[in-house]
Amino acid sequence: MLKIAIAGFGKMGKIRAKEIQRNPNTQLVAIFEQQDEDSLHKYEHITYCKSYDELLEQDIDAVFICAFNSVLAEYTKKALKKGLHVFSEKPPAKSSEELKEVLEAEKQSGKVLKYGFNHRLHYSIISAKELIQSQTLGKLLWVRGVYGKAGSIDFHKNWRNYKQYSGGGILLDQGIHMLDLIYYLTNRNYDVINANLTNSYWDIEVEDNAFVTLQSSDNVIATMHSSATQWRHKFLLELCFEEGFINLDGILSATRSYAPETMVVGRREFEDVTFAMGKPIEHTTWFENDDSWKLELDEFVEAILENKPIVHGKSEDAYKILELVETIYDKSGFYKS
């Protein structure tokens, strides 16, 4: 039984706690949270800590770090140096330079470090990855991704829109997931060809829209639009190949506001211009369950107990994605003006 602690008990901390309590190999034993102590008292047999250092002094095997982005790297380093396994939410750090120190601490500790990129473990993404690996659709031609938020009447008050806590806006909040999926599904590294970040509507100090164009060494173009002014929740990732396409339309969440989650697969058809041109046969698969949070925890636990490798959210991948995000910010010049 792995004894687990959670640092930061907001939305993500509560999601992680639910899965930790369900897993037969994990026990939630301690929580550190400064903001909302009242919500902690419904959890029995748990130690409530007043500081992160106090949390690290508990009898624990691993810590889930669900705190503000600004302290994720610092907390991760401290836990690794303490000899603890670490699961950290994204983004992995405020900068790639800061993350290098974390990776060095990981190497020296010999402990498991995993980052929360749960989108990879949605069943539509798993199915798309398997289809791509089968190579039945031929060469990849291009990729297009859209990830949009509706916003809310108090959106501008959310901690994610204060740069001192988040480090950035919608690009770091949602866009980073889309960038990771593009990297993961296409198995390619990308250069940033163009990046435009704007603050179009919200009275916030970070970007509310990110428009990005990427290019791989074999000339695959990938475009991404991450938006906090979509006025409806939207997830769409399209991959076009020589012999057809995969459209990942929608993704399940607790509110189901991005639902339904589907994978649409179409095959290129040139045989009959009269009937088939522009109207290929499509096969749609619907996904009704989201076990991504469970599957993330399962992988983390198996890496600790069975010495299995981390595949989703490994530190090397997190570093590549953070470097890509940094390049986008630099290329856009958004925070230099």
Q: Which residue has the higher pLDDT, 182 or 156?
A: 182
Token pair 């330079």: residue: 97
Is residue 185 within 8 Å of residue 125, measured between CB atoms?
A: yes
Provide the pLDDT for residue 36.
Answer: 61
Number of C-beta neighbours around residue 324 at 10 A: 22
On whether the CB atoms of residues 256 and 249 are closer than 8 A, the answer is: no
Q: Give the SS3 label for residue 84.
A: coil
Q: Return the structure tokens found at 9.
A: 């008990």
Q: What is the mean pLDDT of residues 120-128?
A: 98
Structure confidence at residue 38 (pLDDT): 62
Domain regions of the chain by residue span:
2-111, 119-293+321-332
Inter-residue contact 239 to 186 (CB < 8 Å)? yes
26 pLDDT higher than 90: yes
Q: What is the pLDDT of residues 92-122, one digit of tens each?
A: 999 999 999 999 999 999 999 999 999 999 9
Could you tell me if 148 and 233 are in contact, meaning their C-beta atoms sit under 8 angstroms apart?
yes
- Tell me, which fold does domain 119-293+321-332 have in CATH? Dihydrodipicolinate Reductase; domain 2 (3.30.360)
How far is 202 from 231, CA to CA, in rounded Å?
A: 12
Q: Would you call 136 helix, strand, or coil by DSSP?
A: coil
3-state SS string over 201-259?
A: CCCCCCCCEEEEEEEECCCCEEEEEEECCCCCCEEEEEEEECCEEEEEECCCCCCCCCC
Both tokens assigned to 249: 């339309």
Q: Which of 12, 77, 25, 331 is nearest to 4 (CA)?
A: 25
| Buried b / exposed e along 237-255 (16+ C-beta atoms within 10 A) | bbbbbeebbbbbbbbbeee
37 pLDDT band, cuts 50/70/90, is: low
Using only C-alpha atoms, what is the Rg of the chain? 21
CATH 3.40.50.720 fits 2-111, yes or no: yes
Under 8 Å between Cβ of 290 and 125:
no
Domains 2-111 and 119-293+321-332 share a fold: no
- pLDDT score recorded for residue 24: 98
For residue 319 the two structure tokens come to: 């570093």
- In tens, the pLDDT along 65-81 reads 999 999 999 999 999 99
User: Which long-range contacts does 156-162 make (Cβ < 8 Å, 24+ apart)?
Assistant: 156/202, 156/203, 156/204, 159/68, 160/206, 161/202, 161/204, 161/205, 161/206, 162/204, 162/205, 162/206
Q: At what angle do helices 96-109 and 72-81 cross, to 10 degrees?
A: 20
> Is the distance from CB of 258 to CB of 250 less than 8 angstroms?
yes
Determine the average pLDDT of the residues in 29-39.
79
Residue with structure tokens 């939630």? Answer: 28
Q: Is 197 exposed, middle or buried (0-12, 13-18, 19+ CB in 10 A)?
A: buried
Contact in structure between 84 and 75 (CB atoms under 8 Å): no
Q: Are 37 and 48 in contact (CB under 8 A)?
A: yes
Per-residue pLDDT tens over the stretch 262-321: 999 999 876 666 666 677 889 999 999 999 999 999 999 999 999 999 999 999 999 999
Q: Rounded to an integer, what distance in angstroms lies between the CA atom of residue 211 and that of residue 300? A: 33
Relative orientation angle of helices 96-109 and 315-332, to the nearest 10 degrees: 170
- Cα 215 to Cα 228: distance, rounded to the nearest angstrom: 24
